[in-house]
Structure 1
Amino acid sequence: MVKSEDRIHMISTRRHGLLFISFVIMIFITVGFIQCISTAQGTKAPDLNDDKVVNMADVILLAGAFNSVSGDEKYKAEYDLNSDNSINMADVILIAGQFNKVIISTSIPTPTSPQQTNDIEKILIPHKSWTCGMADGIPKPENGSLVLEASMKLDQVYDLGKTQYGQRKVYVIQGGTITGTKLSGSIMSGGLDFQLDISNGAMEIEQIFVIKTTDGTYIYLRSAGTAANQNDIRMVPDFEAPTSSSYSWLNTGKYVGRRIIDTAAKTMKISVYDVSGININPNSSNSITVNEPTDVKDQPWDYRKASSEKNGSQFIVESVSLGSSQSVGATKKGGNRNIIPITGGTVTGKLNAKIIPAGADYQNLSSPMTIDARYLWMTNDGEIIIVRNGGQFGALVPTFEVRADSKYSYLNNNLYLSSNPAMISAGVSITFYESQK
């Protein structure tokens, strides 16, 4: 039975909630309704449930935290729209002023100095070792027209530390959604984002995702990104859509994007813009160049190719678990793209590890058939190792990236060869060998 005093408290609480919402509605009528806004990184949008529109669902969330201050149990920093450490009427007025507005994230970075503010407007010239597919210069993305946005949840974040290339982090995608005027669908789980922080503040990024559209079409997306400073990260997406599909326009466009990661919320957002109408004429006054220290080893874009090498001692044996194929079909690359997700497995031999469920074998079924498998090991003592095994069948070459001061650092420099995959139950078995000339 509910005691009378508890019933009175419940009725009182409900009445206060209704009064709050009624009062908010009155403010909305006073402020007025406007339909569309753009928000930038560093500005809190009142879309509290992240459904891309400010509506009564956000009001209810704000009501639950109303009259709380920083440190209170019900205080939520993300609801403190004016960042005054209190959920109060100022936040109500802010959400009222943007009620019924669709949120379009333009993802403009927040500069930390006047110089960086100026640099964001400039053409970004990539380092010669990491051209991003736009060696002549990457324009400011927002100068183009918005094509699509992807919102993703991060499954895992692995901080490898300093490797042979720089400070390496790997973000594993749990899944997500993609929306645009001509494209909508899902980001498949297991996507990889390889972030490289360089000692002078520059950054290089490689992403590999698979999109599944609402009509079931698979699209392969491999992007390169770079930054002269981390307040202005620019991505260059390279789409591979089926040439016979309604998404073939992605194959010929010229795109630049933004990538924003919220490590606390474990989210990643990418906004892609069509910049085909922007002229690139860089000069000393309108461009900035990504520089790297001379002692930094360049990371490769393509997989290593063996030359006059043969199998030496057996190094390890992988038993790799695989998911169902995600067939893109014929693409602009002149082959038939087929993607087989990696869902786990084991590594035994001169080192022992488990295979993290992430990444895939990104096959090109043209003749000769090639594979480009990208995935991660976690050794029995907790080290994360980036693995890439690529090449033509009969000439597969694995390479590794691991923390430079770990006991496995020999992997960064030694040469290895790989057998072809052999079918086993629910996956494949692959043997790696030490390479001999």
Structure 2
Amino acid sequence: MRIIGRRLVAGAIAAAAAVAVGGIATSAYAATGCRVTYTVTSQWPGGFGANVAVTNLGDPISGWRLTWSFAAGQQVTQLWNGSVSQAGTQVTVVNAAWNGNLATGAGTAIGFNGSWNNASNPAPTDFALNGTPCTGSVTPSGSPSAPQSPTPSWTPSPTPTPSGTPSPPTSPTPSTPPGGTEPTIVPDPSWTCNMPTGIVSPTRGRLVLRVTGQLGAVREVGTTPYGQRRLLDVTGGSFVGDRLSGSVLTGGLDLELTLTNGSLEVEQINVLRASDGTLIYLRSCGVAPAGDAPVRIVPDFEAPNSSPYAWLNTGTFVGTRVVDTTTNTLVLTIYDVAGVSPTEPRIQLTDPAGLPHQSWNCATGSGTRGASVFTASVTLGSTLAVGASKRGTRTIIPITGGTLSGRVTGSILAGGADYQLSGSTTTLDARYTLATSDGELILVRNCGQFGRLVPTFETRAAGPYAFLNANTWLSSDPGFAPGGVSITFYERR
């Protein structure tokens, strides 16, 4: 399930509420018992976040099911560390693959985002683990007890009741969730996201930024040499955090790859405009085990060194990426995890054997130009200048469309850009998508210094343009064309 939460609003941070609820277990064959702590970590108009910590007080169990009901119509919209279903007010959460075994005295925790009616958000009072009400007491093995009515003993979270329609502030203070219990995810060595020893649980850090992107088209490229490729266009949005807020510019790209073993690898590029007009380049790398959601991401920021946001250049960040195609939104929730070390449990991701790995870096190659393959006439938007940052001076030239001629005909889709980086030399890094006249999609990345551009293409492995998937091409430098530039791609000898 990939569903999103909502934007935080300042002043709507609820205090923790410890909840011990339930009745007494009745099994004559095993000691049963459990304890639950329910914590509202944040709340905003229409939405809230919560953690549920459960401790097994009885005999060891292998595989668990936690249930509860909401009293005021709340709905779970996103959950991690388990699988969730909801029928009316009744919520059922089943363990994830890695946290199903609970020894006596052991615990686990889940977190979720939910929706509420802005009038009342009471804590649940009827938690049960594998059918046993969670009272904080134990029914001993061999001594069955008659069922008793639950006797709740809990203190609800103090939750703000909005009066009128609140207005989101410019710079709210997000909540800091308690120490996360999600596993450390260790990426495959081919796609480390610059955290080869493991991407820690984001909620072990401090929440600093929530980015809500509006999606345009969601396009299925098909099965490429790397796996199943999906392309999501970001057409705008907003972000809000404890030290900055602003808008998401149109033209962002989210490249999602589902490997044949079900795990995910994600690359995403967005441009943020802070409320004072400062531009920030954001490139994120992400991974997720098969069947897991949300995607664990490692965001990388480039902000102007002279701006109030230069602290983004040196921070250590981890977050989550959640896509909701029903509302066409994409949410990045980003935490500062400086000083947080990987811990157990760990999930090691391994790419399928025998398949090529997608590359994070630009392709390189040498040779001479052979026959031309096709020419792209690219239309461009106004240049955006991030300015001098940690890697050099970043300049972004949005791609707004264009046409193709030669062995490949069709159009260039709006979205993406040339993300140029200047220092002692200038390196071009253009990302965009081709739509052929016969309905195929081709992802393009054209990188390198002037005179040494090496393009790579990714398209359907069984499609008519599969020959482009081979890394055997060269590119001309961009030349002037009406509304933008013209680029010709060549065979490499």
TM-score using structure 1 length: 0.75
Give the partner amino acid of 1:278: V
> Distance in 1 between the 2:117 and 2:466 partners?
53
Of the candidates 333, 345, 356, which is equivalent to residue 297 of structure 1?
356
> Distance in 2 between the 1:357 and 1:80 partners?
41
What is the CA distance between 1:345 and its match in structure 2? 0.3
- Could you say which residue in structure 2 is the equivalent of 1:317? 375
> Distance in 2 between the 1:136 and 1:92 partners?
36
Structure 1 position 367 matched with structure 2 position 453: no
Report Cα offsets for 1:294-313 as digits up to 9, x if no partner.
Answer: 12211001111112x10000
Structure 1 position 354 matched with structure 2 position 411: yes
Give the partner amino acid of 1:382: G
- Could you say which residue in structure 2 is the equivalent of 1:235? 297
Q: Figure out how many residues of one structure are paired with residues of the other and give that number.
A: 352
Report Cα offsets for 1:321-349 as digits up to 9, x if no partner.
Answer: 0001110111101x211000000000100
Is the contact made by 1:54 and 1:100 (CA closer than 8 Å) also made in structure 2?
no
> Distance in 2 between the 1:120 and 1:411 partners?
44
> Distance in 2 between the 1:193 and 1:327 partners?
21
What is the CA distance between 1:80 and its match in structure 2? 6.6
- Could you say which residue in structure 2 is the equivalent of 1:72? none
- Could you say which residue in structure 2 is the equivalent of 1:96? 119
- Could you say which residue in structure 1 is the equivalent of 2:20? none
Q: How does 1:35-434 map to 2 (within 5 A)?
A: 35-37=12-14, 52-54=44-46, 81-82=74-75, 95-98=118-121, 99-100=161-162, 121-229=182-290, 230-280=292-342, 282=343, 285-307=344-366, 309-333=367-391, 335-434=392-491
> Distance in 2 between the 1:52 and 1:375 partners?
36
Provide closer, same or farther for how the CA distance between residues 107 and 252 of structure 1 changes in structure 2, counting only shifts above 3 A: closer
> Distance in 2 between the 1:387 and 1:120 partners?
39
Give the partner amino acid of 2:418: D
What is the CA distance between 1:143 and its match in structure 2? 1.1
Provide closer, same or farther for how the CA distance between residues 381 and 289 of structure 1 changes in structure 2, counting only shifts above 3 A: same
Provide closer, same or farther for how the CA distance between residues 155 and 80 of structure 1 changes in structure 2, counting only shifts above 3 A: farther
Question: Match of 1:354, SS?
Answer: strand
Unaligned runs of 5+ in 2: 1-10, 17-39, 48-71, 76-85, 90-113, 122-160
Report Cα offsets for 1:227-286 as digits up to 9, x if no partner.
Answer: 123235210000001111111000000000111100111110110000003123x5xx53
Question: Match of 1:433, SS?
Answer: strand
Unaligned runs of 5+ in 1: 1-33, 40-44, 56-78, 109-118
User: Going by fraction, where is helix more abundant, 1 or 2?
Assistant: 1
- Could you say which residue in structure 2 is the equivalent of 1:67? none
Percent sequence identity is 43
Question: Match of 1:250, SS?
Answer: helix
What is the CA distance between 1:317 and its match in structure 2? 1.0
> Distance in 2 between the 1:262 and 1:107 partners?
24
Provide closer, same or farther for how the CA distance between residues 247 and 95 of structure 1 changes in structure 2, counting only shifts above 3 A: closer
> Distance in 2 between the 1:392 and 1:92 partners?
49
What root-mean-square deviation, in Å, do the aligned CA atoms of Structure 1 and Structure 2 show?
Answer: 3.0
> Distance in 2 between the 1:267 and 1:54 partners?
16
TM-score using structure 2 length: 0.67
Question: Match of 2:301, SS?
Answer: strand
> Distance in 2 between the 1:153 and 1:425 partners?
30
Provide closer, same or farther for how the CA distance between residues 35 and 425 of structure 1 changes in structure 2, counting only shifts above 3 A: closer
> Distance in 1 between the 2:473 and 2:482 partners?
26
> Distance in 2 between the 1:235 and 1:369 partners?
28
Give the partner amino acid of 1:244: S
